[in-house]
Amino acid sequence: MASDQDFVFKVVLVGDGAVGKTSLRYRYMGEGFRSTYVMTIGADFAVVPVEVEYNNTLYKCKLQIWDLAGQPRFREVRSLFYQGAYGSLAVYDKTRRETYENLIEWIKEIEEKRGKIPLILIGNKKDLCEENPDIPCVTYDEGVELAKKLSERLGFPVHFYETSAKTGENVNTAFLELTKVMLDMTMKQQV
Ligand code: GDP
Ligand code: MG
């Protein structure tokens, strides 16, 4: 069965500079999608359609995926960025431990601006760790541990994926999982 109801979800990508947010967004968008630059807040967004099955029904969703161009320092600017956000991908770079440690600050900022919204944890640049065993990467287990802590903090499951924007590994899966969680939350709020 297909639903005639359509959903539009604003999704924000957060995490330190150069962890791969823009690369993940482009990888997920694929060719042919146009992104729109919002100069006043220094952000880019693009709309990507995605179909999700939920309770044996196919739902058409549109993800409006937002990404800060550079890292605007001003919190006032970032308030606009978070406005209306319904889900988030929180990204760290497996090869730079400080980006893993800093992620909690980004999550606190989301909570402060938007409250507890669906969130997926991403450890990106998996390919670099696999190719270079000498890099002291953040391990998979450490990612799982952080996801567990975040789940406890937020009161709902936070899924965790290790991705590569370079090879594309797990990129679609992560966005799809986020869409499912957002849809689930919306349905539960509607009852
Ligand atoms: P942002 O500042 O978080 O938006 O990060 P960018 O997407 O601009 O990426 C920063 C740098 O990391 C760029 O040089 C990317 O090519 C590189 N990069 C991003 N993701 C990956 C990945 O999964 N693997 C590898 N090897 N490089 C990546
Ligand atoms: Mg970027």
β-bridge partners, 53: 58
* Rounded Cα distance, 61 and 68, in Å: 22
Tokens at 19, concatenated = 């962890």
Positive or negative CA dihedral for 98, 104, 108, 113?
positive
Q: What is the pLDDT of residues 96-118, one digit of tens each?
A: 999 999 999 999 999 999 999 99
Q: Grade residue 190 by pLDDT with cuts at 50, 70 and 90.
A: low
Q: Grade residue 181 by pLDDT with cuts at 50, 70 and 90.
A: very high
Q: What is the pLDDT of residues 81-94, one digit of tens each?
A: 999 999 999 999 99
Q: Which residue has the higher pLDDT, 77 or 26?
A: 26
Q: How far apart are the first and last CA of the chain?
A: 20
Query: Are 61 and 6 in contact, with CB atoms under 8 Å apart?
Result: yes
pLDDT at 85: 97
Q: What residues flank ligand 1, with Cβ below 6 Å?
A: 17-23, 124-125, 127-128, 164-166
Q: What's the average model confidence in pLDDT over 154-179? A: 96
pLDDT at 75 over 80: no
Q: Which residue has the higher pLDDT, 71 or 116?
A: 116
Q: Which atom of ligand 1 is least distant from the CA of 68?
A: 4
pLDDT at 104: 96
Q: Grade residue 12 by pLDDT with cuts at 50, 70 and 90.
A: very high
Question: If you take atom 22 of ligand 1, which residue's CA is the nearest one?
Answer: 125
Residues whose CB falls within 8 Å of the CB of residue 108, separated by 6 or more in sequence, listed in order: none
Alpha-helical runs (H) found in the chain: 21-29, 75-82, 97-114, 126-131, 140-154, 171-190
Cα distances from 31 to residues 34, 155, 167, 174, in angstroms, run: 9, 37, 15, 19
Select from 170, 178, 43 the least CA-distant residue to 120.
178
Closest-lying ligand to the alpha carbon of 14? 1
Cα distances from 12 to residues 28, 73, 106, in angstroms, run: 14, 17, 11
Q: What's the average model confidence in pLDDT over 135-163? A: 97
- Which residue has 């999982």 as its token pair? 177
How far does residue 19's CA lie from ligand 1's centre (Å)? Answer: 6
